[in-house]
Structure 1
Amino acid sequence: MASTDPFDPVSVHVAARSQRRSWSRLVRLVRSSLALVRVSGRRHFSALVCLQVAAAAALAFQVLAVQSLLSAVLAAEEGATVDAAIGPILLLAGLTATTAVLGVCQSQLQRVLGELVARTMWGRVLRVATGVDLYHFETPAFYDHLERVQTHAVGRPYQVTQGLLAMAGATVASIGLGVALASISPLLLVLVAAGGVPVLLTSRRESRLEFGFSVQQTAVLRERTYLALVQTGRDEAKEVRAFGLGDWLRSRFDDSYERYLGALRRHAARRTVLALVGQLGSAAILAGTLLVLVRLVSQGSIGVAEAGAAVVAMRLLAGQVQSLFRGMQVIFESGLFLDDLDRFLELGRSFVDQSRGVEAPVSFGTIRVDDVRFSYPGSSVEALRGISLELHAGEIVAVVGENGSGKTTLAKLLAGLYRPASGRITWDGSHIDDFRPGSLRERISVTFQDFVRYAFSGAENIAVGRVEEAASDDRVRRAAHVAGADDVLEALPHGYDTLLSRLFSGGVDLSGGQWQRVALARSFFRDAPLMILDEPSAALDPRAEHALFSSLRDVLDGRTALFISHRFSTVRGADRIVVMDAGTVVEEGTHSELMAAGGLYADLYRLQSDTDVGGDAASS
């Protein structure tokens, strides 16, 4: 059965093969690319078109200058004055210099325009990457698609424009050269034009090969990139050295690179053979055309000066005809990548549709989870199996359970980052699917266990909690104080303005516990009615952990909090404790009630208490 996943390589190949070369497809590709280029750099593109036309005209006039020069040389050979050659010489020199200057100007303009187009495309791609459902990031096929878009498709729209400019320039130049050549011999014009047909026929196959190679090698390139990052990343550097992984990782990197190079050699050989066939065909036709020219000269149909000019015109025109067909090849080849890009951007259009909906309420009385089920892509095991629970305004609810019980997955669904496969999550009876996703997330603050350590200043690391609002110094400091991060940040070389990363000059790094306080400050800065804290004290020392949970109720100031913790000593003061096991809620109640029930919570609590006591005794 054919794959229905639009990111699947088989689906991509099928879609590519279904695209046929046609004038309507050519027009569509040109129109969409021109629209993009005009949005990115209208003036630069207009200037390039003018330069292209001027260069093509200068090329055509060179043929006439060559013919005039040859006529003057032949006349001088018969005794005429050489003064007649001065004009053609100056004209040919001037046209040659003009063509060179125009080429330099074109090159620099193309460089700037290429960056302008790339910036526009990066903006669109990054908007999709930061806006699509988190669900997509659980599938390798999505990463492969993203890699292809980043590697190939971002620059392809401009390549289409370059191909179009090449076609336009070649067309103008071909018309001028064709007129000059036709004035000498129309037959020569027809033969030279036919010389581009072999290139046109082989270029289609080359385009298919290039796109197929890109799709096949995407996963290999991602693996190689990952292996390079592991060997150069700061976070991985400690373990790489501690376990002596350097040689082993380099060996895997080399093996991955060698697989790619082997495939590249085969791909390059196939493209070379096709290009050779096309060029040999064109060369054969050109050779036949020159034989025809020699025959015309021998028959006296054209003179020596006209023949010399014809040779120049034929050589230039053959190059322009091939440029015309190469431009078409670039457009069609890039079109395959652009179709791939469109499939990726379609995710963004879906995201725009998801932005519709009513605004989520600024507060709530009850959040209810009813029989919610969820599984990750490619997994046959449900991460959540019929979860049901309630959160009431102002409550502190703790979620505990062993690893893999579904605690973090539940947090992600409550935060609106995933959608349940079935069941409902409601705010005061209103289904969260009816809310505009952005407005729902604005009402929720989440601190994950694997929070991001941004290479920004301390103040910015806190203020990213709500970037849509201006961050005053007082508000940032207040959030830091609540999280216990104020003393840490104030002690840095530049206080809150110190860069928290050694990636850039002047930056410093924090300890794990200090970073966790900054992440908590980020969550408090968001000031949302629902706070979700996933292992908020995992990196804190016992004293800091005790201080955090002792003041948590005062800090929340009436907000609702759901916090996940594997340390049972931190959850005793919660209003309710929810115990999860294998994706289900197995117990719920206060600490005293659950201990009295003697169930899973009581077993895990005693086990952890015994371990802690044993550890303390051993330490003593």
Structure 2
Amino acid sequence: MTTRWAVWRHLVTLHWRAHRRVVLLIALLAPLEAASFALVSVAQRHLADSATNGVLAGVLAAALLGGLGNLVISGVLRTKANLQADVVERVDALVSAEVLRTVTAVPTIEHLERTDYLDRLSLLLRGTRSLAFAPWQLVTFATVAVQVGLSCWLLFGVHPALVLLVLFAVPPVWAVHRAQRPVRAAAAATAELRRHDARLHGMATSHHSARELRLAGAVDVVAASADRAWDAALDTAYRARSRGLGWKLGGWAIHTLGYLAALGLVAWLVVGGHATLGDLILFITLAGQLRAQLAQAADQFDGFAESLHCGEQYLWLRRYSAEHEATGTVELPSSPSGGIRLRDVGFTYPGTEEPVLSGVTVDIPQGSTVAVVGDNGAGKTTLVKLLTGMYRPTTGAISVGGVDLDETAPARWRDRVTAAFQDGAEFALPAGRAIGVGRVEHLDDREAVERAVDRAGAGELVLALPRGLDTQLGAVYDGLELSGGQWQQLALARAMMRPDAALTFLDEPTAALDPRIEHQLYERMARHVGVAGGAGTTILITHRFSTTRMADHILVLAGGRVVEQGRHRDLMARDGVYATLYRAQLGAYGVTHE
């Protein structure tokens, strides 16, 4: 509970940071709103009594007082609602930013591929607004409490037993809380269905997948699948709300019985001469206000329960991030002369039993070029994830310059690593920034970007752009859409923003390019990143054997294991797996000899 309330205190702090003057103004308006409702009720009673007794001055005074109260209520409610909406929007943005920072603070990316994590994250992201609104729900509770207290005081003046009417307010509020249980359970149960629906609809509207869907005539198939997921989620939510409706109806039925009993008591008092017509009007007014206040309290309680549930997801995310926080403090040597060593490294994806990698033992000397080849599913990309620290080995260890990667901060290692991937990000930014983001401290350094373009051999591409490096990319943002090969060239340039990287990964980054151009590009890059014996180490992940001959060392993966390793010439002489794959690819290009 202490930690839970720490979240609410943190939310209050965020409100204060977002707009402290607005927060103070709303806090001042809340008691004024509560007092105004009581003022209107008292004015109505005096109006009725003065009219009955023929006191004109009393009628005018009561009418003026009631009109003033209504004016204050109307102005306060409208002003408070507008101010709350503004500050909640600001806090919602702050909470969303905190969630993003917490998610990205986890040094690995394993959690982003786990269904249970993504379901809970989805619930949290859908509830950030309710989380941002939570403090105002507490303010509303306090306001309603003051209103109820004033109403009880006025009702007590008519007859002490009328105060018991407040007790009949408990069942509706409790019923709302009870009704929320199946609704929250349904939200958790349908999180994956909702994610599935969003992903499928996104496929139909994204230019990446829309082309293939239209060519295959499969848009309706994908849409139908999305609709089934959405309908299943709605059916589950509907059944949950239906079960909750019974509790709500029961709670309000009990409240109605209490109201009718109280109304009968006041009517009996008026008939017996123990209360005035004004007292009857006061009771009816206060009872109506109490009913509205109770409905508001029930709604706020409902919303607060949702905020509480969202707060639990937020606490879970923070705990998860803290539990998986990197604890390594050992500094990496400025020059990892010992190279990179993998000792009996194995990895199994969470939720599976079959290892993707097992028993991988390799020495990668500093300044060398290593080509990693193998069939699809051999474990090549997983090996890259381990070497970049995106995953931690399930077994074994990876060391750089004699320092175990688990003993150093992942951010320190990644500062010295650069990479270009086959499915690299397509940043919808001006071309210069889409390249410069590869080294954020030089994001807007035009000279550094131009040098990276030159290293990646992307000069012709940049010259062909309408505004060069200032060309906005991404058609969805009214920019220029590039081909797959052009995006890959920019990804390579982005990787070249770190020419002094200790380790450069090229994970199928030229798959969309012609093999001849690919080979020329690798040769060009070799002159810049030290592929031919410089200080930087380069690892090539490729299906194309035209580039493996330039490597100092070749690793052949099969079934998650290193089955062969050595130079091209030695592996060909061994006439094993590598030689078979190499000759098969040459034959596919119509070449019958090396």
Give TM class, smaller chain: over 0.9
Tell whether 2:31 aligns with 1:53.
yes
- Deviation at 1:441? 0.7
2:477 is matched with: 504
- Deviation at 1:217? 1.2
Taking the aligned partners of 1:42 and 1:519, their CA distance within structure 2 comes to 44
After superposing the two structures, state which structure 1 stretch, 533-542 or 435-444, moved more: 533-542
2:69 is matched with: 95
Match of 1:274 among 247, 254, 277: 247
1:12 is matched with: none
**1:259-318 deviations in whole A, cap 9, x for unaligned?**
223223222222222211111111111111101111122222212222222322232234
- Deviation at 1:29? 6.8
1:63 is matched with: 41
Tell whether 2:537 aligns with 1:560.
yes
2:12 is matched with: 34
Instruction: Give the SS at the match of 1:388.
Output: strand
- Deviation at 1:210? 2.1
Tell whether 2:349 aligns with 1:371.
no
Tell whether 2:97 aligns with 1:127.
no
Match of 2:367 among 394, 398, 422: 394
> What residue identity is the alignment partner of 1:122?
S
- Deviation at 1:321? 4.4
Instruction: Give the SS at the match of 2:346.
Output: strand
> What residue identity is the alignment partner of 1:596?
A
> Does the CA contact (< 8 Å) of 1:26 and 1:331 recur in 2?
no
> What residue identity is the alignment partner of 2:161?
L
Tell whether 2:320 aligns with 1:358.
no
Superposed, which structure 2 residues align to 1:407-446 within 5 Å? 407-446=380-419
Taking the aligned partners of 1:90 and 1:550, their CA distance within structure 2 comes to 89
| 318 and 516 in structure 1: CA distance in 2 versus 1, 3 angstrom threshold | closer
- Deviation at 1:51? 1.4
Match of 2:550 among 570, 573, 584: 573
Taking the aligned partners of 2:209 and 2:177, their CA distance within structure 1 comes to 45
**1:221-271 deviations in whole A, cap 9, x for unaligned?**
111111211111111111111110122222222222222232232222222
1:8 is matched with: none
2:270 is matched with: 297
Taking the aligned partners of 1:29 and 1:141, their CA distance within structure 2 comes to 23
Taking the aligned partners of 1:230 and 1:615, their CA distance within structure 2 comes to 43
Instruction: Give the SS at the match of 1:354.
Output: coil
Instruction: Give the SS at the match of 1:403.
Output: coil
Taking the aligned partners of 2:491 and 2:316, their CA distance within structure 1 comes to 36
1:524 is matched with: 496
Instruction: Give the SS at the match of 1:525.
Output: coil
| 371 and 472 in structure 1: CA distance in 2 versus 1, 3 angstrom threshold | same
| 584 and 25 in structure 1: CA distance in 2 versus 1, 3 angstrom threshold | closer
1:317 is matched with: 290
Match of 1:110 among 84, 89, 100: 84
Superposed, which structure 2 residues align to 1:462-541 within 5 Å? 462-505=435-478, 507-527=479-499, 528-541=501-514
> Does the CA contact (< 8 Å) of 2:119 and 2:192 recur in 1?
yes
| 566 and 456 in structure 1: CA distance in 2 versus 1, 3 angstrom threshold | same
Taking the aligned partners of 2:4 and 2:442, their CA distance within structure 1 comes to 46
- Deviation at 1:542? 3.0
- Deviation at 1:326? 4.5
**1:422-473 deviations in whole A, cap 9, x for unaligned?**
1111112111111111111111112122111111111111111111445410
2:160 is matched with: 186
1:335 is matched with: 308
> What residue identity is the alignment partner of 2:23?
F
1:588 is matched with: 565
Taking the aligned partners of 2:252 and 2:4, their CA distance within structure 1 comes to 24
Taking the aligned partners of 2:35 and 2:27, their CA distance within structure 1 comes to 12
Give aligned-pair identity as a percent.
31
- Deviation at 1:46? 2.2
Instruction: Give the SS at the match of 1:503.
Output: helix
After superposing the two structures, state which structure 1 stretch, 536-545 or 66-75, moved more: 536-545
> Does the CA contact (< 8 Å) of 1:136 and 1:142 recur in 2?
yes
> What residue identity is the alignment partner of 2:404?
H
Instruction: Give the SS at the match of 2:228.
Output: helix
- Deviation at 1:548? 1.2
> Does the CA contact (< 8 Å) of 1:370 and 1:423 recur in 2?
yes
Taking the aligned partners of 1:294 and 1:211, their CA distance within structure 2 comes to 43
> What residue identity is the alignment partner of 2:486?
Q
Match of 2:259 among 271, 282, 286: 286
| 471 and 30 in structure 1: CA distance in 2 versus 1, 3 angstrom threshold | closer
Instruction: Give the SS at the match of 1:543.
Output: helix
**1:487-512 deviations in whole A, cap 9, x for unaligned?**
2112211110111110112x111222
Superposed, which structure 2 residues align to 1:197-212 within 5 Å? 197-212=170-185
**1:328-363 deviations in whole A, cap 9, x for unaligned?**
443334212311221122223235x41652333333
1:171 is matched with: 145
| 39 and 157 in structure 1: CA distance in 2 versus 1, 3 angstrom threshold | farther
Instruction: Give the SS at the match of 2:334.
Output: coil
After superposing the two structures, state which structure 1 stretch, 329-338 or 490-499, moved more: 329-338
Taking the aligned partners of 1:540 and 1:25, their CA distance within structure 2 comes to 54
> What residue identity is the alignment partner of 2:264?
L
Taking the aligned partners of 1:29 and 1:508, their CA distance within structure 2 comes to 44
Which structure 2 segments of 5+ residues have no match? none
Match of 1:141 among 78, 103, 116: 116
> Does the CA contact (< 8 Å) of 1:192 and 1:317 recur in 2?
no
> Does the CA contact (< 8 Å) of 1:482 and 1:521 recur in 2?
yes
Q: What is the TM-score normalised by the length of structure 2?
A: 0.94
| 453 and 30 in structure 1: CA distance in 2 versus 1, 3 angstrom threshold | closer
Instruction: Give the SS at the match of 1:588.
Output: strand
Taking the aligned partners of 2:224 and 2:112, their CA distance within structure 1 comes to 28
Taking the aligned partners of 1:29 and 1:565, their CA distance within structure 2 comes to 48
> What residue identity is the alignment partner of 2:433?
E
> What residue identity is the alignment partner of 1:144?
D
> Does the CA contact (< 8 Å) of 2:419 and 2:504 recur in 1?
yes
Which structure 1 segments of 5+ residues have no match? 1-18
> Does the CA contact (< 8 Å) of 1:462 and 1:522 recur in 2?
yes
Taking the aligned partners of 2:336 and 2:548, their CA distance within structure 1 comes to 24
Taking the aligned partners of 1:546 and 1:104, their CA distance within structure 2 comes to 68
Taking the aligned partners of 1:26 and 1:293, their CA distance within structure 2 comes to 45
Taking the aligned partners of 2:361 and 2:198, their CA distance within structure 1 comes to 42
After superposing the two structures, state which structure 1 stretch, 368-377 or 127-136, moved more: 127-136
- Deviation at 1:324? 3.9
Taking the aligned partners of 1:146 and 1:204, their CA distance within structure 2 comes to 24
- Deviation at 1:565? 1.1
Taking the aligned partners of 1:32 and 1:546, their CA distance within structure 2 comes to 55
Match of 1:245 among 201, 213, 218: 218
- Deviation at 1:614? 6.7
**1:150-198 deviations in whole A, cap 9, x for unaligned?**
112x123233223212111111212222222222222212x22112021
> What residue identity is the alignment partner of 2:563?
V
- Deviation at 1:608? 0.8
> Does the CA contact (< 8 Å) of 1:44 and 1:113 recur in 2?
yes
- Deviation at 1:40? 3.8
